[in-house]
């Protein structure tokens, strides 16, 4: 998530505003605007395709819709603030209320995106290794519950600063996510380290399953080749 914007005199963090030239601001603005536009268009096409094309209305594709919605939300709600703040060299201009909304949406949507990728890896693994017994592939309600769970977990990281634990840093020209140590450990573990570990394990197991399946297919082809040779010699 992009959520650190610091003022010229923020000595505690050791950061200063960046003084961009007009040309640099133009380049940065155009690049970020293009990235945002492509993100919006691409993810809208994913959502529309799954909703319109009947063959794509499979429970497993609901995860792709959830991922697209998360990324689309970042592009629509978060990126406009990022663009303006970057063009001002890092100074936050939108006040305390919008700072909290910005950080909350940024953290929740980015976490939902990562968590959805994690669930996709589990879904792929179970779909490959247990194609007949894995129920979520045929059960849209079960998949929907998994997606709701992803967003609830994402919200659990977003809400603490609004509830008095680990308040965000809000001051003139500053919009900074809470630096509370316990909250930082909790949020990074849930939003990054645990999903990363799960994805690494799942895709490693998928690799092993695919490799094992390839060996079995190769052995079967060799067996059939031997049978054909024996039959040929007998004839």
Which helix or strand (DSSP H or E) is residue 169 part of? strand 169-171
Token pair recorded at residue 43:
């993810």
What interhelical angle do 62-73 and 95-129 show, nearest 10? Answer: 160
Q: Which residues pair with 169 in a beta bridge?
A: 176
pTM of the model: 0.80
Any idea what the Cα angle at residue 165 is, between residues 105 and 106, rounded to 5°?
A: 10
Name the residue ranges covered by the structural domains of the chain.
Answer: 4-234
**Domain 4-234 CATH class label:** mainly alpha
Encode the chain (235 residues) as per-residue pLDDT tens digits.
Answer: 444 444 444 444 434 566 778 888 889 889 999 999 999 999 999 999 999 998 998 888 999 999 999 999 999 999 999 999 888 888 889 988 889 899 999 999 999 999 999 999 999 898 888 877 776 666 788 889 999 999 999 999 998 888 878 788 877 788 888 888 999 999 999 999 999 999 999 999 999 988 887 666 655 555 555 555 554 555 5
Please tell me the number of Cα atoms within 13 Å of 210 on its side-chain side. 9
Q: What share of the chain is helix, strand, coil (3-state, %, to 5)?
A: 75, 5, 20
* 170 close to 100: Cβ distance less than 8 angstroms: yes
* 193 close to 118: Cβ distance less than 8 angstroms: no
* 143 close to 62: Cβ distance less than 8 angstroms: yes
| Nearest CA among 225, 118, 100 for reference residue 166 | 100
Q: Find tokens 């129920």 and name the residue.
A: 135
């Amino acid at each position: 998530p992009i959520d650190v914007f610091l003022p010229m005199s923020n000595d505690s963090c050791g950061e200063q505003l960046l003084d961009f030239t007009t040309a640099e601001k133009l380049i940065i603005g155009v690049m970020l605007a293009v990235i945002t536009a492509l993100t919006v268009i691409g993810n809208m096409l994913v959502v529309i395709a799954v909703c319109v094309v009947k063959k794509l209305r499979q429970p497993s594709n609901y995860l792709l819709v959830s991922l697209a919605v998360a990324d689309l939300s970042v592009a629509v709600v978060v990126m406009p603030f990022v663009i303006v703040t970057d063009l001002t060299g890092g100074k936050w201009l939108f006040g305390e209320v919008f700072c909290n909304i910005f950080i909350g949406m940024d953290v929740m949507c980015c976490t939902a995106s990562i968590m959805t990728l994690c669930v996709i890896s589990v879904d792929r693994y179970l779909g490959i290794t247990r194609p007949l017994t894995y129920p979520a592939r045929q059960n849209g309600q079960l998949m929907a519950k998994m997606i709701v769970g992803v967003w609830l977990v994402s919200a659990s990281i977003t809400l603490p600063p609004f509830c008095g634990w680990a308040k965000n840093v809000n001051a003139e020209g500053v919009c900074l996510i809470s630096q509370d140590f316990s909250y930082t450990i909790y949020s990074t573990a849930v939003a990054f380290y645990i999903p990363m570990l799960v994805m690494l394990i799942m895709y490693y197991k998928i690799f092993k399953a695919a490799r094992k399946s390839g060996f079995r297919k190769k052995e079967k082809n060799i067996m059939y080749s031997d049978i054909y040779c024996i039959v040929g010699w007998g004839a």
